[in-house]
Chains A and B, each alone.
Chain A
Amino acid sequence: MTHRWRLVLFVVAAPAFAVLFFLAARGLPVFGSEFHPYGDRAVEIATRQRTTANVVSSVNFDQRAIDTLGEEFILFGSVIGTIVLLRPAPEEREVGRRPAGGVLPTTRLAGYLLLPVSVLVGLYVIAHGQLSPGGGFQGGVVLATGWHLLYVAGRYAALRRAAPPTVMEIIESVGAAAFAAVGLAGLVIGGAFLVNFLPVGTFNDLISGGTVPVLNGAVGMAVAAAIVLLLSGFLEQAVVLRRSPEPRVDSSIVARSKEHR
């Protein structure tokens, strides 16, 4: 199709979609209505039975924990997928890192100062998922971002040393496996997969919510490692890999070379 025809068809389809969506939206309850049967039940269960002050965490890690298990493994699968897709092709090789040049001393200082702060914040957010907005996913991302302040500070080599891909892959796998294992433990101890089988503790205490903080910890670990792996895959493409001047003739699929590790 030419550009013009594509646009013509879009101009037919898009307004039709818009009209249909408008008609559908008019059938929704008035914005801000009181009609939330599932939400009300979820609040009830979270506050009265499960002592999880952050109801969203209760839904994510307890009431609908299977969704989050699936989500965790979407992340896990995407990271493996990205590693597979970004592996060096046969004719590519590592050309050695380019010097970090041009990092301002102030940037470097800010990176080093913020690193411990952001790691601390990340751990705090993971640990308080059952109490306040946050949890494993959010905290894990903060942790991984903090780690990459090393890169911002111009120390790619330090970043690689501090977070070698092999170790990160293992940490990610262990975190994801821990989530599934807690689910299985629930099956053995509590009779249902992913059942919240731990004592629920005192409402609004750090130790509360039963398995919710445990799962948050597992997710935090997996997510932090996953994001580090994702970013390192892309950074490697930008910083380290180059098409070698003489492409190798070998057309086979060659695994990531050992020295590359």
Chain B
Amino acid sequence: MTTLPYLVAGWLFLVGCYGLVTSRNLVHTVACLTVAQSATYVLLLAVGFRSGATAPVFADVPVGTRVVDPVVQALSLTDIVVSATVTAVLLALTIQIHKRHGTVDPDELRALRD
């Protein structure tokens, strides 16, 4: 049981990869990439958890209260912004691919076959 939260992260990553491998639509591909990335949030937050502790915000609780690790939360925040912005770039590319290739099915994109 004590490793289960970490394993969720591994599971999410693999599920995302499975989606990427089998995807037939680039919008779906981009979504799968964010699923794979959500593994990193789960792992970081799980690593920073402390049993019975509260959020690392001392507005309502006295200083000295047991709190979870604030560093991983900060990292996750950064990570989320990265995810959102990269998703935007990818979706922009997808829109243009749809215009230029006339399809968003990865199987139909043959321009770069060697």
**B88 touches which of A32, A38, A78 (Cβ 8 Å):** A78
**A67 touches which of B10, B46, B49, B78 (Cβ 8 Å):** B78
Contact B70 A46 (CB under 8 A): yes
Bound Cα distance from A28 to B93, whole angstroms: 39
**B21 touches which of A7, A21, A42, A60 (Cβ 8 Å):** A7
Bound Cα distance from A43 to B50, whole angstroms: 14
Contact B48 A75 (CB under 8 A): no
Contact B81 A28 (CB under 8 A): no
**B57 touches which of A54, A67, A78, A85 (Cβ 8 Å):** A54
CB distance from B8 to the nearest CB of A (A): 10
**B70 touches which of A31, A56, A77, A243 (Cβ 8 Å):** A56
Closest chain A residue, CB of each to CB of B73:
A56
Q: Which residues in B have their C-beta under 8 angstroms from that of A47? A: 58, 63
Bound Cα distance from A47 to B75, whole angstroms: 19
Chain A interface residue bracket vs B: 35 or more
B86 at the interface (CB under 8 A from A): yes
B109 at the interface (CB under 8 A from A): no
CB distance from A153 to the nearest CB of B (A): 24
Known: A43-B67, A74-B85, A78-B85. A59 touches B74 (CB 8 A): yes
Contact with B along A241-255 (1 / 0, CB 8 A): 001000000000000
Bound Cα distance from A56 to B48, whole angstroms: 12
Q: Which residues in window 51-109 of B have CB below 8 A to A? A: 51-52, 55-59, 63, 67-75, 77-78, 81-82, 85-86, 88-89, 91-93, 95-96, 99, 107
**B89 touches which of A21, A60, A78 (Cβ 8 Å):** A78
Q: Which residues in A have their C-beta under 8 angstroms from that of B35? A: none
Closest chain B residue, CB of each to CB of A27:
B3
Contact A32 B59 (CB under 8 A): no
Bound Cα distance from A81 to B21, whole angstroms: 26
Q: Which residues in B have their C-beta under 8 angstroms from that of A42? A: 70-71
A192 at the interface (CB under 8 A from B): no
Contact B2 A31 (CB under 8 A): yes
B17 at the interface (CB under 8 A from A): yes
Contact A233 B55 (CB under 8 A): no
**B74 touches which of A29, A34, A64 (Cβ 8 Å):** A64
Q: Which residues in A have their C-beta under 8 angstroms from that of B10? A: 17-18, 21-22, 25
Q: Which residues in B have their C-beta under 8 angstroms from that of A204? A: 58-59
Q: Which residues in A have their C-beta under 8 angstroms from that of B46? A: 31
Can you list 27 A-B pairs with a CB-CB distance of less than 8 A? A3-B107, A17-B10, A18-B10, A21-B7, A22-B7, A25-B10, A31-B2, A31-B49, A33-B51, A38-B69, A38-B71, A39-B70, A53-B58, A55-B56, A55-B58, A59-B73, A60-B77, A71-B82, A74-B81, A78-B86, A85-B89, A85-B93, A132-B57, A137-B81, A203-B63, A204-B59, A234-B92
Q: Give chain B's interface residues, CB within 8 Å of chain A.
A: 1-7, 9-10, 13-14, 17-18, 21-22, 46-52, 55-59, 63, 67-75, 77-78, 81-82, 85-86, 88-89, 91-93, 95-96, 99, 107
